[in-house]
Structure 1
Amino acid sequence: MSTLSPLGPHTPRIALIGECMIELQQRADGSLQQSFGGDTLNTAVYLSRAMGDRARVDYVTALGDDSFSDEMCRRWAGEGIGLDWVQRLPGRLPGLYCIQTDAAGERRFLYWRNEAAVRDCFTLPNGAATLAALPDYDVLYFSGITLAVLGAQGRERLVEVLAEARQRDARIVFDNNYRPRLWASREAAQAAYRSVLPHVDLALLTVEDEQALFGFADCAAVFDAYAQVGTPEVVLKRGAEACLIRCDGEAFDVPAQKVERVIDTTAAGDSFSAAYLASRLSGAGPADAAEAGHRLASRVIQVPGALIPR
């Protein structure tokens, strides 16, 4: 396994796999503001902004043939994200979610996604070309939500892709993002995560999600578990607390940036992951990459919604 050192003189190709949904942000007066969001899509946008023309960032998903899907693609293209592997499925729709925030800026999500097009991203005939293309990328990025929405058959095919990609020296990046409502059971989620973790080079983890899914007592237990799997670089995201990093035997403790007023924590972790990954691929060490992640996340949580203005 290899840590995320710079990828050489060529322009790296990065594919992020997952789901973007219609986002409804509930305001204090009860009105709704419509946008788009999803964990891997949020990361793709912030990663594309950070890397600019130093990398090619592609998004891998399935959408419908509706006007919302049209608008998603238009916005992604405007962010410099490649659409080659965005499937458009006739008669289907993207998922939808609503964000409700309390006075402290903490979120509550309501989802409508059971029939979302992404569930067939890798299972319909059109998905074969996507699966064949992914091992040629330099970096593949996915999340626990990706694992949930792809379904059992899609996950099985993703694992095959990860194994082949790593044989071709691709770097595999995983954000744990565990959402219990997306899984039939905790045991099913555990099995799915364990099927992909042996292929991961960089694990970007939210501590609370690791505790909820695997029951780890503390951060040391999380690090021990990933060391046993063999993950060379593990980052524990802890919100307003310092993030903890273990990379090739070295330990780092990087304080978060203080924010006077938190408006909305949506995409805090996604943006951190994007800035961290961009910094590592550009040659920064883990501590400097974490500082970049904290800087971006501190800006994101002071603006409503997942994606702040450029």
Structure 2
Amino acid sequence: MNTLSPLGPNTPRIALIGECMIELQQRADGSLQQSFGGDTLNTAVYLSRAMGDKAQVDYVTALGDDSFSDAMCQIWRSEGIGLDLVQRLPGRLPGLYCIQTDAHGERRFLYWRNEAAVRDCFTTPAAEPVLAALPDYDVLYFSGITLAVLGMQGRARLIRTLVEARQRDARIVFDNNYRPRLWASVEEARGAYRSVLPYVDLALLTVDDEQALFGFADCESVFEAYAQFGTPEVVLKRGAETCLIRCEGEAFEVPAQKVDKVIDTTAAGDSFSAAYLAKRLLGGSPAEAAEAGHRLASQVIQCPGALIPKA
């Protein structure tokens, strides 16, 4: 069991595993604004901004050899994100999604991702050096979306990597981000989640996703279930409501920050997770980390799209 205490005097190496897609943001007049986004990539960007030169943040994914993939890499590099573990697969393309928001800022996603390059992220010969490098990182971060897009073979290879990384004292961080459309059945998703949860040190959970996937009746049921998995630190994100935390037997409740007008809730949870993780790695308490998470998320939901401009 590893705790999220500061990682010592050396610069920690953090690898986030997942998918970045082409993002289309539908405006009120019906026009589309094109950018890029994806849950773990959003977290990687906000984490890199929060950590600055106090950490090395690398992204792990597979892209194509097209101009959109080129543009993604250029943006990531400008954000200080390392690209050594990004595979470029000839003839392939990244996935695409469109965000539609209602008058209250709530979002609806439309996806085109079945042939995305990331689905072969851990199955190609080029994946071997990537998988070999991951256990040497100090922190590995992935999500429920990561589990879905990797497929059965990719998930199996990820689990072997998590086991080896933990044996080398890496911290494993997981954001549940359950998306039913990415799974053949809820039973398949439950099995995949349960296969990785025994290796997780910090679980960043959205309550609605936990209820949809596992049918938990209330927050206490979630905490009890993750205690059975042996997860030492569990964070329940509840949108505009208070955040609930259990860490090494202690309980915390941290109120969200109120905003006058919600523009777009895209990446609210991803940004919260980034700020929370950054504060914990820099020595902050769980309560301080949740305050940082709420603070960043409150800024993100007042801007359209997943990534807000740098401060």
Scaled by the length of structure 2, the TM-score of the pair is: 1.00
Q: How does 1:91-102 map to 2 (within 5 A)?
A: 91-102=91-102
Residue segments in structure 1 that go unaligned for 5+ positions in a row = none
Q: d(CA) in 2 for partners of 1:3 and 1:206?
A: 21
Q: Distance in 2 between matches of 1:32 and 1:117?
A: 24
Q: In structure 1, give the amino acid aligned to 2:63.
A: L
Measure, in 2, the Cα distance between the counterparts of 1:152 and 1:100.
Answer: 31
Q: 2:173 matched to which residue of 1? A: 173
Amino acid aligned to 1:223? F
Within 2, Cα distance between the matches of 1:270 and 1:41? 9
Give the alignment of 1:221-260 within 5 angstroms.
221-260=221-260
Separation of aligned partners in 2, 1:211 and 1:11: 37
The letter of the residue matching 1:170 is A
C-alpha distance in structure 1 between counterparts of 2:257 and 2:54, whole Å: 27
Give the partner amino acid of 2:87. Answer: Q
User: Percent identity between the aligned chains?
Assistant: 85
Give the residue type in structure 2 aligned to 1:148: A
Q: Is the 8 A contact 2:107 2:266 kept in 1?
A: yes
- Displacement of 1:2 after TM fit? 1.9
Q: What CA RMSD, in Å, does the superposition of the two structures yield over aligned residues?
A: 0.3
Counterpart amino acid of 2:114?
N
TM-score by length of 1: 1.00
1:155 CA displacement: 0.2
Deviation per CA, 1:223-271: give whole Å up to 9, x if none. 0000011000000000000000000000000000001100000000000
Instruction: Spell out the pairing of 1:1-310 with structure 2 (5 A cutoff).
Output: 1-310=1-310
Q: Distance in 1 between matches of 2:158 and 2:110?
A: 27
CA distance in 1, matches of 2:224, 2:294: 24
Determine the C-alpha separation between the residues in 2 that align with 1:141 and 1:24: 25
Deviation at 1:3, TM superposition (A): 1.6
C-alpha distance in 2, partners of 1:114/1:139? 29
CA offsets 1:107-147 (integer angstroms, 9 cap, x no match): 00000000000000000100011000000000000000000
What amino acid is the match of 1:92?
R
- Matched residues, number: 310
Give the Cα–Cα distance (whole angstroms) in 1 for the partners of residues 87 and 230 of structure 2: 34
The one-letter code matched in structure 2 to 1:153 is Q
Separation of aligned partners in 2, 1:211 and 1:23: 28
